[in-house]
A and B are shown apart, each in its own frame.
Chain A
Amino acid sequence: MSNAPAEEIPAEEIDLAEANHIIDKYLTLPGNLMPVLQGIQDSYGYVPKPTIDLVAERLNVYPSQIYGVLTFYAQFHLKPRGRYIIRVCVGTACHVQGAERIVETFFGRLGIGHAETTPDLRYTFEKVACLGACGMAPLAMVNDDTYGKMTVQKVDEIVETYNQRPMK
């Protein structure tokens, strides 16, 4: 189409078989873009660029529109995410119970900030507004496991525990 120089981005090595499988599943469903993207997010842990091109091609949707959807919803991620997602609540109840110190301790322990991922892809850290369990404030979650009444000491324990867990 155009002669605009293509950016020199090394192509990601992504196996598209799973994405194709997800698209097959929803191909004939009206309004299939969301379930397809959610499926890809679940399967790959994020939405890799090659899968966006594939979805655009197979569902005949403009890549720009897919990008618009992906950046609109907080549930989608365009960069690889950690195997373990640590979420610390900084909502009102947790805040008054010292959530900020918990957050700071995690930052220091993991060497990453909010919405960042460790280079070994083990952890992604997120501050969140409320996890819906104010009675257990201050609260942290690692994937689906909940850790209530958090303390600075518990941060070390959690990181130790998940350092031992497998990556797969």
Chain B
Amino acid sequence: MVNLTINGTQVAVEKDATIYDAAKACGIKIPILCHDKKLHPFGGCRMCLVEVEQMKGRLIPACTTPVTEGMIVQTTTDEIVKARKLVLELLLLKHPIDCPVCDAAGDCDLQNLTFEYKVNTNRFVDEKFNHEIDYDNPLIERDMNRCIHCGKCARICDEIVSYGAYTFINRGIEAKMGTEFDGPLNCEFCGSCVSVCPVGALNSRPFKFKARWWALQKTKSVCSYCGTGCQLTLGTKDGKVLTTVYDENQGFHNGQLCTRGRFGYQFVNSAKRLTTPLVKKNGKLQEASWEEALEVVTSRLSAGKSDPASVAALATPRLTNEELFLFEKLFRGTIGTDNIDHSAGYAHAALTKGAKASFGVAASPSEIADIQKSNLLLVVKSDAYETHPVIGFEMNLGVKRKGIDLRIVSDKKGKLTRLPGAKTTVHTPGSEVALFNALCKSIIDQGLAAEGVAGLAELKAAVADATAEKAGVTAEEIAALAKDYAAAEKALIILPIGLGYPGHDAALANAAANLAILTGKIGKEGCGLLIMGEKNNSQGAADLGIYPKSTGLSASAIIEGCGNGNIKTLFVAGENPVVSYPNRQKVEKALENVEFMVVADLFLTETAQLADVVLPACSFAEKSGTFTSLGRRVQMVRKAVPAVGLAKSDFEILNTLSAAIGGARYNNQAEIFTEIASTVPAYQGLTQGKLGDEGVVLPVTVSAKLVPAVAKAVAPVAGKLALLTGSALYHSGTMSRFGEGPMYVCPTAYAELSMADAASLKIAEGDMVTVTSATGSVQVAAKVGKRVPQGTVFAPYHFGEGSVNSITDGAAVTYVTVAKK
């Protein structure tokens, strides 16, 4: 610790602190424009000038000057105030005073400091800038006339996002923040630059002219897309979500969001939202009252009580814990069917089954915070950035700031593979388990296994025939990777799972867990396995038992049952099997065949269109409750706007139905949380009040066990390409299709080919191609790139039009032919 005096106050801070940090620690505010706690110090704006007794004669920038023992600092002498006023005068010389039409007004650091320092005249006169404003994309407006050259946008884009869209271009008075060749912005549109811009140079276009800053009501909540569990603040007015508000003190991610979090909120107030119940009459869905719709559903569910095996229910892991609990209670409890599931059978098996077998707990044994504490990250699939971008930011930071080694095992390359020092092992499609088995074998053969691991002999026998060739990589690569992993003091395996990743199943979780257990990299800080659940409450769905527990049918078996008539009543809460479950034709047929289907959803999805009754449900912004993130953090979701139209939350819908058929009735969702806390062991002792703004990380007791994983052989088919499915950047399930941000970055389905395959098939970027498998065929636009290796084709799964599940059937790899339309 270093002791110093600031404005007469004694303070002791860490030795790597700056004067600015030290002042902040003792509650003294030093004005800043270019400084941000998340970024490297820059020292560009000169607002933070202070006086240091030992360095008399000049003013010192507080944000870049490290503290030294015995330093005596003054932060507000007359001379300092004069200097700061001068800085403001010089900035205002070029800055247009167009505050009345600037969206940043009220949230503008320059405006606030001008006010605070009473700069009401300017001794200088000059022309303003006359840069062209970039309106080229619908999300981020760049008005460089307002820019004060703090460089934060360029730094955040480099240091955290690792995209590098911005740079200072030109020199002297002509210098400005620009892009490559000074062209329009063409990036991932995560909006990180908008969030840190201290003035109105970078604006969120969807929010433009929507509301004055001070008129917004701000509600803290949690993002409802992926499982990362980013906290966000919703800015609302007149019952509408108008923007997300950046708060640098929110969450582990310091307010950082990705495109879908920041610009994807429009689905809440989308004109496509369902606003009234629909009941099928004469073969057509027609508007109905809640009484009418619920009566139909109640009578079906009551009848189902006498034949529970004919009732099945699917819930989306986007619901709150309270809703999922009520869902489970209604179907498994009151009706008595075990045919309940979420997309687990297809996607989260790694979480529910794999982790349970390997760690004795159906959850990630590690937390998100472990990423930065690790020495080596072993990431399965380069897509980890696409599926969970904010976790991608954490990885970027770890690699760039702390020099964490990054190893990627993937069937294709991506943004992560370009991080400094990243080493990528590209394996053949569908051979992830084989690869991990080969790694385990290599660890054992090289004598790198930790001493006294139980079950080592069995695992040794199980992986005896595992070879690097089975994963299509060289033995040297495997040996080197195994050695690096074992040698790292702390190593963390990161595994994305989700509907788009059929190969990421329980066996893969076991295989990856084996590697961690074998080398003793479990149960310690910075070690273990982070299983990245796809949806915002995937972990909650696993915790609350939304899967068949004994003889019940899993999601795929439920669809099967609908097809063969065994299932007569199907309740679908928010799932969209038609677009997201494998083999679309089969799913559609089954759902058309089922006698009675109820769908509660925000939109008239492809699945809802087939329903007999459609109930309009509420989005996360219209209800309160809790979500549990993939890092096991339980966080409060808070109601920010009233329900759209006649929509009701799934809590209200399930509560009414439950009471009507003789089940439990709750007064409010908080009551359910109390019950969860008393019945679900991990949640014991929690109350919603205790969660606060930060949330609470659920405790986990890991009892690690080696579970041999069987690698399914995937035989390549001559003359065909291996189809890899997955997530497109910033999409999440099928809901992100209703958000402006994700839809701008990636509006339609596509198939990405390698340059070599594209050349031999004579396909160019943008051509319409037909992708055909044994299951069916689909027409999408082609993309050609360097990310996909030869012999493979990648297609994201989110889209209704050209949906990739028309050609997949749930196998880890589907072999397809691609031809120009």
Interface presence of A7 (CB below 8 A): yes
CB atoms of A1 and B181 under 8 A apart: no
CB atoms of A64 and B729 under 8 A apart: no
CB atoms of A63 and B180 under 8 A apart: yes
Q: How far is the CA of A66 from the CA of B178 in the complex (A)?
A: 12
CB atoms of A67 and B180 under 8 A apart: yes
Nearest A-chain residue to B747, judged by Cβ: A3
CB atoms of A1 and B187 under 8 A apart: yes
| A72-113 to B contact mask, C-beta < 8 Å, 1/0 | 100000000000000000000000000000000000000000
Q: How far is the CA of A67 from the CA of B187 in the complex (A)?
A: 16
CB atoms of A4 and B137 under 8 A apart: yes
| B653-685 to A contact mask, C-beta < 8 Å, 1/0 | 000000000000000000000000000000000
| A47-81 to B contact mask, C-beta < 8 Å, 1/0 | 00100100000001011111110011000000000
Interface presence of A164 (CB below 8 A): no
What are the residues of chain A within 8 A of B167 when measuring CB–CB?
Answer: 62, 64-65, 67-68
What are the residues of chain A within 8 A of B188 when measuring CB–CB?
Answer: 1-2
Q: How far is the CB of A68 from chain B (nearest CB, A)?
A: 4
A1, A63, A64: residue with the most chain B Cβ atoms closer than 10 Å: A64
Interface presence of B418 (CB below 8 A): yes
What are the residues of chain A within 8 A of B165 when measuring CB–CB?
Answer: 62, 64
| B87-124 to A contact mask, C-beta < 8 Å, 1/0 | 00000000000000000000000000000000000000
CB atoms of B164 and A60 under 8 A apart: no
Q: A1-B745, A7-B183 are in contact. Are A60 and B420 (CB under 8 A)?
A: yes
What are the residues of chain A within 8 A of B169 when measuring CB–CB?
Answer: 67-68, 71-72
CB atoms of B171 and A72 under 8 A apart: yes
Interface presence of B327 (CB below 8 A): no
A66, A67, A68: residue with the most chain B Cβ atoms closer than 10 Å: A68
A64: which of B166, B184, B189, B744 is its contact (CB, 8 Å)? B166
Interface presence of B179 (CB below 8 A): yes
Nearest A-chain residue to B174, judged by Cβ: A71
Nearest A-chain residue to B748, judged by Cβ: A3
What are the residues of chain A within 8 A of B187 when measuring CB–CB?
Answer: 1-2
Q: How far is the CA of A65 from the CA of B167 in the complex (A)?
A: 6
Q: How far is the CA of A42 from the CA of B314 in the complex (A)?
A: 66
CB atoms of B179 and A64 under 8 A apart: yes
Q: How far is the CA of A52 from the CA of B167 in the complex (A)?
A: 15
Within 8 A of B (CB), among A1-45: 1-4, 7
Q: How far is the CA of A1 from the CA of B785 in the complex (A)?
A: 11
Q: How far is the CA of A124 from the CA of B189 in the complex (A)?
A: 40
Size bin of chain B's contact surface = 20 to 34
What are the residues of chain A within 8 A of B158 when measuring CB–CB?
Answer: 62, 65
What are the residues of chain B within 8 A of A71 when measuring CB–CB?
Answer: 169-171
B184: which of A1, A4, A62 is its contact (CB, 8 Å)? A4
What are the residues of chain B within 8 A of A68 when measuring CB–CB?
Answer: 167-169, 178
Nearest B-chain residue to A49, judged by Cβ: B181
Q: How far is the CA of A65 from the CA of B178 in the complex (A)?
A: 10
Do most interface residues of chain A lie in helix, strand or loop, or is the interface mixed? helix
CB atoms of A4 and B186 under 8 A apart: yes
Interface presence of B136 (CB below 8 A): yes
What are the residues of chain A within 8 A of B746 when measuring CB–CB?
Answer: 3
Q: How far is the CA of A63 from the CA of B729 in the complex (A)?
A: 21
What are the residues of chain B within 8 A of A63 when measuring CB–CB?
Answer: 164, 180
Q: How far is the CA of A142 from the CA of B500 in the complex (A)?
A: 64
Within 8 A of A (CB), among B147-173: 154, 158, 163-171
| B453-485 to A contact mask, C-beta < 8 Å, 1/0 | 000000000000000000000000000000000
Within 8 A of A (CB), among B41-67: none
Size bin of chain A's contact surface = 10 to 19
CB atoms of B164 and A2 under 8 A apart: no
Q: How far is the CA of A65 from the CA of B171 in the complex (A)?
A: 14
What are the residues of chain A within 8 A of B171 when measuring CB–CB?
Answer: 71-72
CB atoms of A2 and B170 under 8 A apart: no
B186: which of A1, A49, A62, A72 is its contact (CB, 8 Å)? A1
Nearest B-chain residue to A4, judged by Cβ: B186
What are the residues of chain B within 8 A of A67 when measuring CB–CB?
Answer: 167, 169, 178-182
What are the residues of chain A within 8 A of B180 when measuring CB–CB?
Answer: 52, 62-64, 66-67
Q: How far is the CB of A58 from chain B (nearest CB, A)?
A: 12
Q: A2-B744, A4-B184 are in contact. Are A65 and B164 (CB under 8 A)?
A: yes
B164: which of A1, A64, A72 is its contact (CB, 8 Å)? A64
Q: How far is the CB of A17 from chain B (nearest CB, A)?
A: 19
Q: How far is the CA of A100 from the CA of B167 in the complex (A)?
A: 37
| B180-221 to A contact mask, C-beta < 8 Å, 1/0 | 111110111100000000000000000000000000000000
CB atoms of B179 and A2 under 8 A apart: no
Q: How far is the CB of A12 from chain B (nearest CB, A)?
A: 13
Q: How far is the CB of A46 from chain B (nearest CB, A)?
A: 14
Nearest B-chain residue to A56, judged by Cβ: B180
Q: How far is the CA of A1 from the CA of B184 in the complex (A)?
A: 14
| B726-750 to A contact mask, C-beta < 8 Å, 1/0 | 0001000000000000001111000
Q: How far is the CA of A49 from the CA of B420 in the complex (A)?
A: 24
Q: How far is the CA of A64 from the CA of B193 in the complex (A)?
A: 15
Nearest A-chain residue to B765, judged by Cβ: A6
CB atoms of A60 and B418 under 8 A apart: yes
Q: How far is the CB of B79 from chain A (nearest CB, A)?
A: 33
What are the residues of chain A within 8 A of B137 when measuring CB–CB?
Answer: 2, 4
Q: How far is the CA of A62 from the CA of B186 in the complex (A)?
A: 13
Q: How far is the CA of A3 from the CA of B154 in the complex (A)?
A: 22
Q: How far is the CA of A2 from the CA of B186 in the complex (A)?
A: 6
What are the residues of chain B within 8 A of A66 when measuring CB–CB?
Answer: 180
Within 8 A of A (CB), among B125-156: 136-137, 154
What are the residues of chain A within 8 A of B186 when measuring CB–CB?
Answer: 1-2, 4
Within 8 A of A (CB), among B369-405: none
Q: How far is the CA of A3 from the CA of B158 in the complex (A)?
A: 22
What are the residues of chain A within 8 A of B182 when measuring CB–CB?
Answer: 67
Q: How far is the CA of A72 from the CA of B168 in the complex (A)?
A: 9
Q: How far is the CA of A163 from the CA of B186 in the complex (A)?
A: 44
Q: How far is the CA of A21 from the CA of B166 in the complex (A)?
A: 28
Nearest B-chain residue to A1, judged by Cβ: B188
Q: How far is the CB of A126 from chain B (nearest CB, A)?
A: 17
Q: How far is the CB of B131 from chain A (nearest CB, A)?
A: 15
Q: A64-B180, A67-B178, A67-B180 are in contact. Are A2 and B745 (CB under 8 A)?
A: yes
Q: How far is the CA of A111 from the CA of B181 in the complex (A)?
A: 28
What are the residues of chain A within 8 A of B184 when measuring CB–CB?
Answer: 4
Nearest B-chain residue to A68, judged by Cβ: B167
Q: How far is the CA of A61 from the CA of B691 in the complex (A)?
A: 43
Q: How far is the CA of A72 from the CA of B182 in the complex (A)?
A: 13
Q: How far is the CA of A62 from the CA of B162 in the complex (A)?
A: 9
Q: How far is the CB of A15 from chain B (nearest CB, A)?
A: 19
Q: List 24 A-B contacts (CB under 8 A).
A: A1-B186, A2-B137, A2-B187, A2-B189, A2-B744, A4-B137, A4-B186, A49-B181, A52-B180, A60-B420, A62-B167, A62-B180, A64-B165, A64-B167, A64-B178, A65-B158, A67-B169, A67-B180, A67-B181, A68-B167, A68-B178, A71-B171, A72-B170, A72-B171
Q: Give the 8 A-B CB pairs with smallest separation, nearest first.
A: A62-B164, A68-B167, A64-B167, A63-B180, A64-B180, A71-B169, A71-B170, A67-B180
Taking A1-B187, A66-B180 as given, write out 17 further A-B residue pairs in contact, using a Cβ cutoff of 8 Å, ordered by the A residue number: A3-B744, A3-B746, A4-B184, A4-B186, A62-B163, A63-B180, A64-B154, A64-B179, A65-B164, A67-B167, A67-B178, A67-B179, A68-B169, A71-B169, A71-B170, A72-B168, A72-B169
Query: Chain A residues in contact with chain B, CB under 8 A?
Result: 1-4, 7, 49, 52, 60, 62-68, 71-72
